[in-house]
Amino acid sequence: MASPAICDRNNRNDGENGSRSMGLCGKVMNKVVEFPIKLKKLGQDDPRRIVHSLKVGLAVLLVSLLYYVQPFYNGLGDTTMWAVITVVVVFEFSVGATLGRGLNRIMATFLAGALGFGVHHLANISGEIGHPILIGIFVFLLAASVTFIRFFPRMKARFDYGLLIFILTFCLISVSGYREEEILEMAHKRVSTILIGAFTAVFVCIFICPVWAGDDLHNSVANNIEKLGSFLEGFGDEYFKVAGNGESNRAHLQGYTSVLNSKQSEETQANFARWEPRHGKFRYRHPWRHYLKIGHLTRQCAYRIETLNGYLNSEIQTPLNIQSNKVQELCMKMSSESGKALKELAWALKTLTVPCAAASSHITKSRAAANNLTSMFRTSSAAAAGVGGDQVRLLDMVPAVTVASLLSDVVAYAEQIEKSIQELASFPHVQFKSAEPKTLQSCNTSSSNVGPHRVITMDRLASLQVQEPHKGIGTKLQRVSSAI
Amino acid sequence: MASPAICDRNNRNDGENGSRSMGLCGKVMNKVVEFPIKLKKLGQDDPRRIVHSLKVGLAVLLVSLLYYVQPFYNGLGDTTMWAVITVVVVFEFSVGATLGRGLNRIMATFLAGALGFGVHHLANISGEIGHPILIGIFVFLLAASVTFIRFFPRMKARFDYGLLIFILTFCLISVSGYREEEILEMAHKRVSTILIGAFTAVFVCIFICPVWAGDDLHNSVANNIEKLGSFLEGFGDEYFKVAGNGESNRAHLQGYTSVLNSKQSEETQANFARWEPRHGKFRYRHPWRHYLKIGHLTRQCAYRIETLNGYLNSEIQTPLNIQSNKVQELCMKMSSESGKALKELAWALKTLTVPCAAASSHITKSRAAANNLTSMFRTSSAAAAGVGGDQVRLLDMVPAVTVASLLSDVVAYAEQIEKSIQELASFPHVQFKSAEPKTLQSCNTSSSNVGPHRVITMDRLASLQVQEPHKGIGTKLQRVSSAI
């Protein structure tokens, strides 16, 4: 009994080794051939990468000129290297990241330099034996405590680099065996060169094709909403096989998967964006943290869509023989209208326009479809669910009912995404186009009172199944208990 | 119409400013008071943080002794600072991260130093005017191209720091205005001090309470599976209100939410783990990347669980008046058995024991329950679904059917997680306890042939709704078309 498994494992090892030794040359050749193709693709995917690389080259070149301009070099000497080091380590892809690192580096160097100088002075007056002991104690305590502070999530998010440089500079200044006058001169030179380096990096970063982390965050949140919209627009046709050959479309629908894991990149971008000055459409104190809330809602919606996507691969081709035409029509309406609504919302967010008429109308329609479905489910008994009185197997109802239920969740999330974008528009530092109070008010009214499409029922199904996804984003979904 | 909105906005601003100016002192005081409490919590959450901080303090202290040991200081002089810098920037929380940064730094310094020296030599022989021009061209090209290479995801994951140091060292060496003999001496000293710094950091990191990234990854993947298991174990009771007062339990069930966003941290840990030598239960070439596949499946399962969790907040308290006892029993069985299975699998993974009897038996039971439900749904017509012949509203069936359908997905994912852990056990560099070929084989047999619990039907429902979640992880779920 045991031998086949052993053989299998041995064969596998042999096979692996064989292919490894035989194919090594081929693999290396493949990699060499593929390299330029990959390089090209990397640049095509985001041409800003090429610009960024050239900008780094330029900044390093500029700062290395310090070595060749005699007056500078005579003044700064060997410490010129700190300018080069600063440019290389501070220059990041976005303005926010570069500014954050630059400010962290300058402030940390300044503070730690002053503290280090104080400790050095204290150690000097404590005699020859006391000197190393005192310095040792200080270095140990400071390195340990600042390292511990780096574990605070808030500190890590914004000041991690500064804290690192703080430890580094403090150790360099306090430990160094120089005399105090030398230290003062060294500190002066070092701060100057770091300032020169940081300013060079920030200058090149801001004034040559700047990449704003805020813009990236703004666009990425809007694009994520759009991706969900695209899925929902295509889902109905794909699921109910209305379109002819669905295979090609199905791959097209998978764009939403990147939304599932977008949390960390959004948080990083939001932290960078907070360092950025006013630029383009955004004022200085733009509420970047609110984007994280919109992003959270988008991901919650994406989890439901991920579950929905599982039903696309179902082999039950025509599951809806329960009132098929009507249920299919309503599901397709929920899907396509909420998809359109999300696309409208994405567009509104991207262009900073108050989402009003179009988005609200699509949301109203999708909510109306959900309510229609709910009331249909309420009024029909399961026994009467067959088409033309046919008996229906429960099994055939399962996917249809589940899809309807998930779509109902999605509609509720679309409503909440709309609310959170309206909320963004109402922040004092945000300028949404045509954001006059009147428009906003009428917009709010139209999204809570649903107009002629609204059905005379509680939208119990949707309201009951969707948990309150985020505290403080907005009030609970308003329940409409009477119709207009 | 417009005035209330304007007033509202103004009031809001005034209110904000007022509370800001009034509460500033209070806020600062609050922060000062809260700080020690937060510090304590940070240490209690993971005591390794305290140890790490002390280790950093010790490493910096050790390396700063170089300044006080005269023979060293005489030999190294000012370049001693590079040892301090290296310790501060290289010392990371886990061994893998520290080793990765240390090796990156050493190799990059060495390579870039050699290249920089070559360029410097080339520039020197090209005359006084050619020198700065040639150096400028080289610095620009190298900085730009290496910066571009840093955008490659693979390079970014493992060699980002090395590439940064490469640019830095190259610029320092090639640009510096020293004579060649000086450069050689400087390079020698710098490489020595960087080696001393890196070895100090790595030594302290490995030999004093080491934190292995591999262990962290291993435990975090296992814990994530366990969290899903805990949710599923509690879900049935909570949803069907079997337990008395559910409120406290509901908060207890929310542990799974951290799984949803675990992708990036798992990838980072896997990259660090690949730098680590053999330690504890893990050999050198442990298949860390396979953990990412298990993690991916766990997240896919978590997305379904997140959707399920929405139904806990449903106000429909007793939705199951369709064959309530039987459906409820089967759903609870699916939930609790798959929960137990996931917990067993988590334990097996954590202890590196081949998941066999217990896990397989729970999976078999949950699969049997899913199949029972499927065949019940198949054989009953919707008309006969009422308890005791009562008419059932379709609306009341919706949550029950959706929950059953989602649980069925979850069972399928539990099966796949089991398969992927079995697969991990079969890797050549992995030692699972009691992993004799015989045990493995019988284990495989028992998980694909389901034994006496298996029902004589296709498990169509589950198999059709779950998409193939990851290429190459395993073959498609085996479909059992005949029973034993």
d(CA B149, CA B108): 14
The closest of B264, B103, B94, B156 to A92, measured between CA atoms, is: B156
- Which of B207, B232, B263 is the last residue before a domain boundary? B207
Which of A46, A52, A164, A381 to probe by mutation at the B interface, max B CB count within 10 Å? A381
Instruction: Indicate the residue of B381, B437, B465 with minimum beta-carbon distance to A311.
Output: B465
Contacts of B145 in chain A (CB under 8 A): 53
Same domain, A185 and A91: yes
B324-347: average pLDDT = 85
pLDDT at B448 over 70: no
Same domain, A183 and A228: no
Convert B429-459 to b/e letters by CB count within 10 Å (16 or more is b): ebebeebebebbeebbebbeebeebbbebbb
Q: Which two tokens stand for residue B464?
A: 């059709």
pLDDT band for position B109 (cuts 50, 70, 90) = very high
Same domain, B261 and B188: no
Give every CB contact of residue B180 below 8 A, 6+ residues apart in sequence.
B117, B120, B121, B124
Q: Are B345 and B418 in contact (CB under 8 A)?
A: yes
Helices marked H in B274-393 — which ranges?
288-312, 324-350, 357-379
Residue B477: inside a domain, yes or no?
no
How confident is the model at residue A178, as a pLDDT?
A: 64
Task: Name the average pLDDT for chain B.
Answer: 77
Q: Which two tokens stand for residue A125?
A: 């007056």
Contacts of A85 in chain B (CB under 8 A): 168, 172
Contact B261/A at CB under 8 A: yes
The closest of B445, B448, B425 to B436, measured between CA atoms, is: B425
Instruction: Indicate the residue of A9, A168, A406 with minimum beta-carbon distance to B88.
Output: A168
B445-465: average pLDDT = 34
pLDDT band for position B189 (cuts 50, 70, 90) = confident
Query: Do B393 and A404 count as a contact with CB atoms less than 8 A apart?
Result: no
Helices marked H in B46-94 — which ranges?
48-64, 70-76, 80-90
- Which of B156, B182, B207 is the last residue before a domain boundary? B207
Same domain, B136 and B280: no
Query: Do B5 and A467 count as a contact with CB atoms less than 8 A apart?
Result: no
Query: Do A84 and B172 count as a contact with CB atoms less than 8 A apart?
Result: yes
More confidently predicted of B394 and A167: A167
The closest of A67, A100, A101 to A83, measured between CA atoms, is: A67
Q: Which two tokens stand for residue B115?
A: 């290249």
Residue B316: inside a domain, yes or no?
yes
Q: Are A338 and A366 in contact (CB under 8 A)?
A: yes
> CA neighbours within 13 Å on the CB side: how many for B328?
16
- E strand or H helix that includes residue A84: helix A80-90
How confident is the model at residue B112, as a pLDDT?
A: 92
**Residue numbers of A between 15 and 54 with CB closer than 8 Å to B:** 16, 38-39, 42-43, 49-50, 52-54
d(CA B298, CA B260): 9
Q: What one-character-per-residue DSSP string does B115-178 give?
A: HHHHHHHHHHTTHHHHHHHHHHHHHHHHHHHHHHHTTSHHHHHHHHHHHHHHHHHHHHHHH---
- Which percentage of chain B shows pLDDT scores above 70? 75
What parts of chain A have a pLDDT lower than 50?
Answer: 1-20, 243, 246, 316-323, 383-390, 435-484
CA B254 from chain center: how many Å? Answer: 18
How confident is the model at residue A331, as a pLDDT?
A: 86
Residue A177: inside a domain, yes or no?
yes
Q: Which two tokens stand for residue B216?
A: 């962290």
Same domain, B290 and B186: no
The closest of B108, B110, B86, B95 to B197, measured between CA atoms, is: B86
Residue B296 to residues A119, B384, B477, Cα–Cα distance (Å): 51, 41, 17
Q: Which two tokens stand for residue A349?
A: 């967010």
DSSP letter assigned to residue B275 = T
Q: Which two tokens stand for residue A90?
A: 């501070």
How confident is the model at residue A395, as a pLDDT?
A: 66
d(CA A483, CA B338): 44
How many distinct structural domains can be found in chain B?
Answer: 2
In A, minimum Cα distance to B53 occurs at A144
Other CB atoms closer than 10 Å to residue A281's CB: what's the count? Answer: 15
How confident is the model at residue A3, as a pLDDT?
A: 38
d(CA B235, CA B256): 12
Query: Do A144 and B300 count as a contact with CB atoms less than 8 A apart?
Result: no
Integer Rg of chain A from CA: 31
Q: Report the Cα–Cα distance between both ends of chain A, in Å, rounded.
A: 75
Q: Tell me the pLDDT tens digit for each residue of B51-94.
A: 999 999 999 999 988 888 777 777 777 788 889 999 999 999 99
Give every CB contact of residue B63 below 8 A, 6+ residues apart in sequence.
B83, B84, B86, B87, B196, B197, B200
The answer to which of B30-34, B266-270, B312-316 has the lowest mean pLDDT is B312-316
What value, to the nearest 5°, has the Cα angle with vertex B285 and ends B280 and B290?
Answer: 95
Convert A15-35 to b/e letters by CB count within 10 Å (16 or more is b): eeeeeeeeeeeeeeeeeeeee
Same domain, A203 and A223: no
Same domain, A131 and A237: no
Contact A223/B at CB under 8 A: no
How confident is the model at residue A322, as a pLDDT?
A: 46
Amino acid type, B209: C
Same domain, B222 and B77: no
Whose structure tokens read 């303090």? Answer: B57
Q: Are A200 and A83 in contact (CB under 8 A)?
A: yes
Helix pair angle (B263-273, B288-312), 10° resolution: 160
B277-292: average pLDDT = 89
In A, minimum Cα distance to B410 occurs at A307
The closest of A299, A258, A261, A306 to A406, measured between CA atoms, is: A306
Instruction: Indicate the residue of A1, A73, A466 with minimum beta-carbon distance to B310.
Output: A466
Same domain, B192 and B50: yes
Helices marked H in B240-275 — which ranges?
247-252, 257-260, 263-273
Q: Tell me the pLDDT tens digit for each residue of B203-258.
A: 999 999 999 999 999 999 999 999 999 999 888 888 877 545 545 567 778 889 89
How confident is the model at residue B380, as a pLDDT?
A: 63
How confident is the model at residue A247, as a pLDDT?
A: 57
Burial of B292 (0-12, 13-18, 19+ CB in 10 A): middle
Coil/strand/helix, residue A125 = coil
Domain at A260, CATH number = 1.20.58
Residue A456: inside a domain, yes or no?
no
pLDDT at B326 over 60: yes
**Residue numbers of B between 294 and 353 with CB closer than 8 Å to A:** 299-300, 303-304, 306-307, 309-316, 322
Helices marked H in A317-436 — which ranges?
324-350, 357-379, 394-425
Q: How many residues in total does chain B contain?
A: 484
Residue B469: inside a domain, yes or no?
no
Whose structure tokens read 């103004």? Answer: B10
d(CA A276, CA A213): 8
Q: Are A406 and B405 in contact (CB under 8 A)?
A: no
More confidently predicted of A392 and B411: B411
Same domain, B125 and B194: yes
**Residue numbers of B between 127 and 156 with CB closer than 8 Å to A:** 132, 135-136, 139-145, 147-148, 151-152
Residue B317: inside a domain, yes or no?
yes
In A, minimum Cα distance to B436 occurs at A2
pLDDT at B373 over 60: yes
Q: Are B412 and B330 in contact (CB under 8 A)?
A: no
pLDDT band for position B150 (cuts 50, 70, 90) = very high
Residue numbers of the domain that contains B374 = 213-242+249-384+399-426
Highest mean pLDDT among B99-113, B394-408, B443-457: B99-113
d(CA B410, CA B334): 9
Residue A100: inside a domain, yes or no?
yes
The closest of A385, A235, A397 to B461, measured between CA atoms, is: A397
Same domain, A86 and A222: no
**Residue numbers of A between 386 and 445 with CB closer than 8 Å to B:** 386, 391-395, 397-399, 401-402, 404-406, 409, 426, 428, 436-438, 440-441
The closest of A321, A305, A170, A117 to A226, measured between CA atoms, is: A305
B131-139: average pLDDT = 90
d(CA A36, CA A40): 6
Q: What one-character-per-residue DSSP string does B220-246 give?
A: HHHHHHHHHHHHHHHHHHHHTT-SS--
Q: Are B350 and B307 in contact (CB under 8 A)?
A: no
Amino acid type, B43: G
DSSP letter assigned to residue B67 = G
Same domain, B77 and B166: yes
How confident is the model at residue A245, as a pLDDT?
A: 52
d(CA B76, CA B440): 59
For chain B, the maximum distance between any two Cα atoms, rounded to a whole number of angstroms, is 102
Residue B454: inside a domain, yes or no?
no
Contacts of B299 in chain A (CB under 8 A): 260
DSSP letter assigned to residue B94 = S
Helices marked H in A208-243 — which ranges?
213-239
